[in-house]
Amino acid sequence: MRLGVKPAVFLGRLLFFFFLTYVLWKPVAPAYTRMLASLTSGFLHLTEISRDPNLNRATEMGVGEDREGRPAIFYRHRLSPRNAPPQGIPADWVQANLVLLIPLMLATPARSYAQRFGRLGLALAIALVLQILDITVTVKSFYASQLGAYSFTYYSDLARRLYQFGDAFTQAMDTQLFPVAIWAGIHFKQLLGRIGSGPVAAPSTAPTTTSHAPRRKRKGTKRTLDAVGRSR
């Protein structure tokens, strides 16, 4: 028996877990947003370690609500004017990939619940790292192109283009491509039907019998044949 993916069964499980995740994620989302903002802020500060005071720990980040009342992750440069509004990243945009990734992981067959939830934990860890990188690239892209003289002083043209490309790529691919890529990467062999769940037949260990007489018996037989030959 193989752990292949049956399309009809998989689709039914996927729709069920998608609805369940969508309903249960709402009360979890605020706490996850705060954790994500805290981890991203720490990572940004690691990238901003510098002797230059204009670069060292330059980002201030927090969680709030945008003009439409939706939760968002806000950031601003420490040297920005205090009356300048902070930039916001909608939290639901960042977390949308989880609403697809979790159902994909739970709907895929596994040998045991431990294996299924272990794979889910791995997928969530990868998604969290990608989300931190996504927000970091978005912040760096803004700093590299939208802060006037500061942008042209501390960011080269090449860095500016790379950050802008990275920001556009993550915004286009994050919610659709990344969840499917993570799921397919973890279940690659299973999707190809190369993983079986049945017991592997052990090789036969039955002893092979050889028809030979004991050494002493062979010697006795030889002597008897010699005596018969002499008598003839």
> 64 is written with which tokens?
């709030």
For residue 20, pLDDT over 50 is answered with yes
pLDDT number for residue 177: 86
pLDDT number for residue 190: 83
Higher pLDDT, 40 or 220: 40
Contact 197, 2 (CB under 8 A): yes
How confident is the prediction for the chain on average, in pLDDT? 83
- 139 CA to centre of own chain: 23
pLDDT number for residue 220: 54
For residue 40, pLDDT over 90 is answered with yes
pLDDT number for residue 224: 52
Residues 25-34, mean pLDDT to the nearest whole number: 93
Burial of 162 (0-12, 13-18, 19+ CB in 10 A): middle
Of 198, 191, 182, 179, give the one whose Cα is nearest residue 109: 191
Q: How confident is the model at residue 200 (pLDDT cuts 50, 70, 90)?
A: very low
- 130 CA to centre of own chain: 9
**Each residue of 50-80: pLDDT tens digit?**
898 888 999 999 999 888 888 999 999 988 8
Share of the chain above pLDDT 90, in %: 51
Higher pLDDT, 211 or 117: 117
pLDDT number for residue 8: 86
**Each residue of 115-138: pLDDT tens digit?**
999 999 999 999 999 999 999 999
Distance CA 148, CA 144 (A): 9
Residues 189-213, mean pLDDT to the nearest whole number: 57
62, β-bridge pairs = 74
For residue 82, pLDDT over 70 is answered with yes
Residue 208 neighbours by CB under 8 Å, 6+ apart: none
Q: How confident is the model at residue 198 (pLDDT cuts 50, 70, 90)?
A: very low
For residue 103, pLDDT over 90 is answered with yes
> 135 is written with which tokens?
């927000």
**Each residue of 145-187: pLDDT tens digit?**
988 888 999 999 999 999 999 998 888 777 678 999 999 999 8
pLDDT number for residue 12: 93
Distance CA 136, CA 49 (A): 15
